Structure 1
Amino acid sequence: MKWPERVKVKEVGPRDGLQNESRFIPTENKIKWIDQLSLAGFDYIEVTSFVSSKWIPQLADAPELAKGIARFPGVTYAALVPNQRGLEQAIESGIDEIAVFMSASETHNRKNINKSIADTFPVLSMVTREALSAGKTIRGYISTVFGCPYEGKVEIDHVIRVADKLFEMGIYELSLGDTIGVANPRQVESMLEVLLKRYPAERLALHYHDTRGAALANILVSMQMGITRFDSSVGGLGGCPYAPGASGNVAAEDMVYCLREMGIETGIDFDKLLTAARYIQEKLGRTLPSRNLQACPS
């Protein structure tokens, strides 16, 4: 069995993790945490989302935060952008990369974006066109790839329809999201067998939530299929406001530990990563689901 020599871990906790918290974390604490993540060796951090504070109040400080973080050489600081207004704010705030998002399932897309899939395409097309004109790289997300909280199983044709449109718009990479954490290794293998005939492995990333404890198993299968890019969330933070019952992403420290022990390079300092995980756990005032935080509490 051939394993990759190196895997790229993209940290999305400051956005995907904190958006689901009931408490607003003070901006200065978020900034300190993101700076710790940069020090730990992440070269990609999704720091916030430029969405209406009415919908995601936990990220209402996006412009202030984006301007306040330290900018480490070689690190891409990205943000999720839903529309043209959000894009304007992101560009003005100095964000390096734009992320656009939509769902593979119609009901989740309507709950999450308040638009049909068909009506979402023109909005994202305008965002991507203007972002490219501004010299920004663009990453795409598809939610509910492996299952929808409202519709159940999602057909792969629905995933391909959205993926094709996003690649046509100019995204360089597509993150496939197991939003509610229902995927299993056999399902992952079957889906990737289809998708990898259509898209190069280096243009796909996987975004696994660990709702049912299968995230690391799914990552291992994905690596065997040739995928080397994965999203993570420090501490196992996360969930989706529009996916009831969904828990956080795979904990960054659990994935990095596993990869390190397998001899697979990530470029991330595990001890500094644990320090960052302990810090945000303390600020949130609750125990996070990360196994390594529980194994190494101090």
Structure 2
Amino acid sequence: MKLIECPRDAMQGLTHFIPTATKTAYLNTLLGVGFDTLDFGSFVSPKAIPQLQDTAEVLAGLDLSQTRTKLLAIVANLRGAETALQHPEIQYLGFPLSVSETFQRRNTNKTIAEALADVASMHELCGKQSRTLVVYLSMGFGNPYGDPWSPEVVADFTRQLANLGIRIVALSDTIGASTAATITPLFAELIPAFPAIEFGAHLHSTPDSWREKVEAAYQAGCRRFDGAIGGIGGCPMAADVLTGNMATENLLAFALENGLETGLDLDAFAQAQRMAREQVFH
């Protein structure tokens, strides 16, 4: 079971600014846990996400010498991708491509067609530098705007991404709309249909809905899961009330209950939990 920790997603919607030194210390602690990937920051307009305006400074303070964890940064346009690619420590660039036209405009100020053109350009840039573009299909389980959604719509988006050569696609539950009834058929259809793509689950949940969501995705073949310690955060562009991220504690509990290997150092994880609670998100 591949776990991706997303402190960027946990931090981005907070109204108080977390000092750069605190962010850096927390991320260095997370690097010792053994996650596959750390979604650590973003190269977007400070006006849009002021919390992450110091991503380059934070990156400069990270100790990558003793970790197996790879770094992922979110970008919202080609300029952000070009900036991120100036940092060789970043292996993955993440781009939110929305299944909802309304949310694509709201999130990146682009149409879906324009965003897909950006995806093609970003993928080409990444390939030239031996990096990988991860595409998040936001609003992947439905949207509150009345825009078209169905498994067929998501499959069509995935087909376009596969034709571009994208190799990692994370179905993203931007507003917590997913249920087992929507999660299972999506992954069950997409995973066998696109064997060259690694599918991930970026699920948002409430404390009483997480298990059915994780079980549904795992049983349908998903092995890549995004989480955030404490279940903190969500997308500030999506709704007035944020539905929290999938708590990493719950993903770890699911893995332990089912005898699944995660590669995490549990002592280091407990240390990161304490730091999150006492210093970062207090």
| CA distances 1:147-167 after superposition (whole Å, capped 9, x unpaired) | 213227722232123222223
| CA distances 1:99-134 after superposition (whole Å, capped 9, x unpaired) | 122111111111111111112111221122112112
In structure 2, distance between residues paired with 1:236 and 1:285 = 11
Structure 1 runs of 4+ with >6 Å offset? none
Alignment of 1:6-21 (within 5 A): 7-12=1-6, 14-21=7-14
Structure 2: runs of 5 or more not aligned: none
In the alignment, does 2:260 pair up with 1:267? no
In structure 1, distance between residues paired with 2:196 and 2:83 = 32
In structure 1, distance between residues paired with 2:232 and 2:166 = 26
| CA distances 1:202-257 after superposition (whole Å, capped 9, x unpaired) | 61111110147322211112211221111111111111112212322111122112
Q: Is the 8 A contact 1:16 1:238 kept in 2?
A: yes
Q: What residue in structure 2 maps to residue 83 of structure 1? A: 77
In the alignment, does 2:40 pair up with 1:70? no
1:99 to 94, 108, 118: 94
Q: What residue in structure 1 maps to residue 21 of structure 2? A: 28
Q: Which moved more, 1:276-285 or 1:64-73?
A: 276-285
In structure 2, distance between residues paired with 1:241 and 1:127 = 24
SS at structure 2 position matched to 1:249:
coil
Q: What residue in structure 1 maps to residue 47 of structure 2? A: 54
Q: What residue in structure 1 maps to residue 139 of structure 2? A: 144
Q: What residue in structure 1 maps to residue 177 of structure 2? A: 182
Distance 1:204 1:118, change over 3 A: same
In structure 2, distance between residues paired with 1:226 and 1:204 = 9
Distance 1:153 1:278, change over 3 A: farther
SS at structure 2 position matched to 1:92:
coil
Q: Is the 8 A contact 1:105 1:158 kept in 2?
A: no
Q: TM-score, normalised by structure 2?
A: 0.92
Q: What residue in structure 1 maps to residue 110 of structure 2? A: 115
Shift of 1:69: 0.8
1:249 to 245, 248, 254: 245
In the alignment, does 2:214 pair up with 1:219? yes
In structure 1, distance between residues paired with 2:191 and 2:254 = 25
Whichever residue aligns with residue 176 of structure 1, its letter is: L
Whichever residue aligns with residue 268 of structure 1, its letter is: L
Distance 1:235 1:86, change over 3 A: same
1:162 to 157, 161, 171: 157
In structure 1, distance between residues paired with 2:42 and 2:51 = 10
Q: What residue in structure 1 maps to residue 226 of structure 2? A: 231
Distance 1:191 1:285, change over 3 A: closer
Q: TM-score, normalised by structure 1?
A: 0.87
In angstroms, what is the RMSD of aligned CA positions? Answer: 1.9
Q: How many residues align?
A: 279
In structure 1, distance between residues paired with 2:166 and 2:149 = 22
Q: Which moved more, 1:152-161 or 1:176-185?
A: 152-161
1:204 to 191, 199, 208: 199
Structure 1: runs of 5 or more not aligned: 1-6, 287-298
Distance 1:285 1:123, change over 3 A: closer
SS at structure 2 position matched to 1:98:
strand
In the alignment, does 2:121 pair up with 1:126? yes
Q: What residue in structure 2 maps to residue 296 of structure 1? A: none
Whichever residue aligns with residue 50 of structure 2, its letter is: P
